Amino acid sequence: MIRPHRAFLFSGGVAGALGVALSAAAAHSGGSNLATAASFLLMHAPALLVLSLLAANRIARIGGAGLVIGLALFCGDLLSRQYLDSRLFPYAAPMGGLLMIGGWLIVAASALRPASRE
């Protein structure tokens, strides 16, 4: 089983790499969906890297998981629209957005709980 901090480290690295690649693709093709996905990936990559170091309690890890899943749904839907001319599935982007918002709020709430020795 992958430990949560390693999963966030991996996800942050992949998000950063994909963000750079999609930024280049958007610059060459002019796709606004690509540019939006790239921006979201690049802005969440450092947050995931920080979570890999600081997610000291289960609440923070749950929030981080919400960020990863939400990012995958949101950006996956935008990429599906760009390259496949169809949605990933109905409401994938809004669900992903809500998961990211919820993930951020859960990460913030984790500060109210002292770190445990888990």
- Answer whether 0.85 is exceeded by the pTM: no
For residue range 58-72, what is the model confidence (pLDDT) as tens digits? 888 888 899 999 999
Beta carbons of 7 and 22 less than 8 angstroms apart: no
Structural contact between residues 35 and 23, judged by C-beta atoms closer than 8 angstroms = yes
**Tens digits of residue pLDDT in 73-115:** 999 999 999 989 999 999 999 999 999 999 998 888 887 876 5
**Domain range summary for the chain, segments of one domain joined by +:** 4-110
Share of the chain above pLDDT 70, in %: 92
Residue 96 and residue 1: Cα distance in Å, rounded?
25
